[in-house]
Amino acid sequence: MSIRLGYQIPNFSYSTPVRDLFPTVIAQAREAEAAGFDAVFVMDHFYQLPGIGEPDEPMLEAYTSLAGIATATDSIQLSALVTGNTYRNPAMLAKTVSTLDVVSGGRAVLGIGAGWFELEHQQLGFEFGTFTDRFERLDEALQIIAPMLHGERPTFEGKWYRAENAINEPRIRDDLPIMLGGGGEKKTFGLAARYADHLNVIANAVELPRKLDALAQRCEEAGRDRSTLETSFLAFVMIDEDGDKARAMQREFLLSRGVDLSALSVAERAVATDRQFVGSPDEVAEQIKTRVLDTGIDGVIVNLVANGHQPGIVELAGRTLGPLVRG
């Protein structure tokens, strides 16, 4: 498994009839595959996230969507970025992602995290619990899921979950990759050092050097060679051949979320846009290189929240960023 360039689809508000929504998703996945992206991701949420839209905006269920994408693509890897552990029984999740692997001919990746969006839990009846609860549950879940993905039949009795000689058939392979997603330097990075093939770092770009130092510490504590754990960064990219158009998109997007860039100080603007990479292809490439890749991160997963559904934009992003991550 290697994910040096990934494409995340976070937005399903396409101003089209609902019957045309999934064809627009398929078109993006196919464009990403043709443009050389390694993987396509959907979010594992039931409501739209507050940083992107309103709760009642369109949001598709992740694994149903990934199975649909699998039948319309040939080679691109498929994952949630990332599965909320709190939404599914761990043995059921192992079965779900293994089935996606079979459906896709061996292209599934299990992206997983502790879960965080309280409104979904509250309104849909999922137990949320404390921060500590959620990470205890993730740790226990991985002690069931990882063996099941690797062809074992785990028996486990924990505080939150149990399994007894859990069978997971059929499987295409015994090394289905696990990706952890998050920014927690102790808990998330510690679990990644123990269980993951890949860590997607969710953080502000300015924090990346510190995050990578912490990851190295967690790997050392786990007795793991840090170089065996691939890393990536999730970037919000707004790109257009005309850099001024891209910056206008950024202003409009942030205004829709209640942020007026023109009213912010230089320091406030830097904080508000730290995860955003905006401009022409050359400008975006330079920003990704200097702010992300030069810190030592292996790859980048981009979403194109403002215009990724427009034909040609995913291809433009792939053409722009592919050479950076492939050397």
Residues 23-82 have pLDDT tens digits of: 999 999 999 999 999 999 999 999 999 999 999 999 999 999 999 999 999 999 999 999
The whole-angstrom separation of Cα 291 and Cα 277 is: 9
CATH classification at residue 155: 3.20.20.30
Contacts of 231 (CB under 8 A, 6+ apart): 198, 199, 200, 201, 212, 215, 296, 297, 298, 299
The whole-angstrom separation of Cα 88 and Cα 302 is: 26
The whole-angstrom separation of Cα 277 and Cα 270 is: 12
pLDDT at site 289? 97
State the pLDDT confidence band at 303, using cuts at 50, 70 and 90.
Answer: very high
The whole-angstrom separation of Cα 168 and Cα 178 is: 16
Number of Cβ within 10 Å of residue 81's Cβ equals: 28
Enter the DSSP assignment of 312.
T
Phi, psi of 301 (to 5 degrees): -110, 125
The whole-angstrom separation of Cα 94 and Cα 146 is: 8
Token pair belonging to 52: 């992107």
HSE of 78 in the Cβ direction (CA atoms, 13 Å)? 30
Region 299-310 average pLDDT: 95
Contacts of 28 (CB under 8 A, 6+ apart): 7, 9, 40, 308, 309, 314
Q: How many domains does the chain have?
A: 1
Query: Mean pLDDT for the chain?
Result: 96
Q: b vs e for 48-61, b when ≥16 Cβ sit within 10 Å of the residue's Cβ?
A: bbeebbeeeeebbe
Find the domain containing 27 and state its range: 5-326
Q: What is the CA 246 to chain-centroid distance, rounded?
A: 23
pLDDT at site 326? 85
Contacts of 67 (CB under 8 A, 6+ apart): 99, 100, 103, 104
Region 194-217 average pLDDT: 97
Helical spans, DSSP H, in the chain: 21-34, 62-72, 90-104, 118-124, 131-149, 187-195, 208-222, 243-256, 266-272, 281-291, 313-326
pLDDT at site 1? 66
Instruction: Evaluate if residue 140 carries a pLDDT over 70.
Output: yes
